[in-house]
Amino acid sequence: MPQIRGANVLIVGATSTIARHAAGQLAARDARLHLAARDEAEARRIGQDLEVRRGAEVSWGPFEATEYDRHERLLDRATEAMGGLDGLLVAVGMLGDQIRAEADPEHLRDVIEVNYGAPASLITAAANRFEEQGRGWIAALSSVAGDRGRPSNYAYGSAKAGLTAFLDGLRGRFHESGVHVLTAKPGPTDTKMTFGMDDPPPLMAEPERVAKRIVWAIEEERDVCYAPPIWRYIMAAIRLIPTPLFKKLDL
């Protein structure tokens, strides 16, 4: 099973609400953490809180997902700070604005790059290192939105669908190795991403519950994790709706 207790774990997008709770779950298992985020000051505050409340060993630093030439350097910094690298949790993402994406191709490109292109690049760099050392795990936050394109958020959903397919392929590449790949698919979650929505989605989950489920899935070496689990069945039903009917639904 993937090593979590005492592991050296890099968390990117570490200031996201789900990532914060996941960091607490990992720290409770004596993992050493390196928190990387665009907002380095906030990453430092999260790290210091974990040090005080959990007695965790935490380091932190800046990370801009779309600066591709810095991905290898981030892995080097994290490895040096922790004395190794055993796991990677990728929580980078942006919901974007669907209406704006329909009118502004540049915004659409940003949504795709942040949710798919940049994470895939970093994951590839880490995967190659894990393959070389013969062990390691990768957990990345995709979304239930990637299971089927809906008119209300197909820009975001299509990017997450791309990430899901990428992780599927990566998992197949490593099926006989010591490297584990988890695709985490949260449903709508009460985070900064959904705060202030005029029409909040149904079944909004608490981020702590979602984070617990993800860390559990890493420990259990699951391939795919819906969080909360009910979304596995909801999305299975949605995928079965015939296209002529589906395209007429207000989803």
Contact 34, 61 (CB under 8 A): yes
Q: How many residues does the chain have?
A: 251
Dist CA 154 CA 141 (whole Å): 17
Contact 187, 231 (CB under 8 A): yes
SS3 state at 186: strand
Strand locations in the chain, DSSP E?
A: 8-12, 32-37, 58-62, 87-90, 136-141, 179-186, 224-227
Contact 27, 1 (CB under 8 A): no
Note if 156 is an active site residue: yes
Any idea which residue has 């949605």 for tokens?
Answer: 238
The distance from CA 126 to its chain's CA centroid, rounded to whole angstroms, is 14
Contact 173, 126 (CB under 8 A): no
Q: Which of 68, 116, 154, 156 is catalytic?
A: 156
The distance from CA 16 to its chain's CA centroid, rounded to whole angstroms, is 10
Dump the DSSP string for 95-148.
Answer: ---HHHHHH-HHHHHHHHIIIIIHHHHHHHHHHHHHHHHT-EEEEEE--GGGSS
Catalytic sites, residue numbers: 156
